[in-house]
Amino acid sequence: MLQINIRQPVQRHTETGANSERKRSGRPKATTEPKDKFLCDTQLTGQQLQAQLNSGGSKQVSALLRCQNKTKRLCWAMKHHHWTTEVWKKVLRTDESKFEIFGSSRRIFVCR
């Protein structure tokens, strides 16, 4: 047995008067002990666990494009697919719409 395995608990007991571990620095745990036990439940499948974790009250995002709009976009893209980079540089973009690639900046919560 290594001396450090014996020395550390003895030293901790002499410093604190108990054998409990010292408070650790850094970010506190995000989950509680009951949640840890729930997450370690071996009876749950990955899909069940994901569904329960995601059921926190967030609204699901749905697609806003109709089939008709998708068809129009495809036709426009096919009509302009031969344009070069030089031609695209001359296009004036006056659209002020905000497009977000990775989700929304505002979160919508739903009570169920």
- Domain range enclosing 24: 6-90
Residue 103 lies in a domain: no
pLDDT of 1 > 60? The answer is: no
In a domain, 102, yes or no: no
Q: Decide if 109 is inside a domain.
A: no
pLDDT of residue 105: 66
Q: What is the pLDDT of residues 89-104, one digit of tens each?
A: 888 676 666 667 666 6
Assigned domain for 108 exists = no
Q: Count, in order, helices (H) and strands (E) of the chain.
A: 5, 0
**111 within domain boundaries:** no
**Is the residue at 104 inside a domain?**
no
- pLDDT value of position 13: 79
Euclidean distance between CA atoms 23 and 32, whole angstroms: 16
The total of structural domains in the chain comes to 1
Q: Is residue 95 included in any domain, yes or no? A: no
Question: Do the domain assignments include residue 46?
Answer: yes
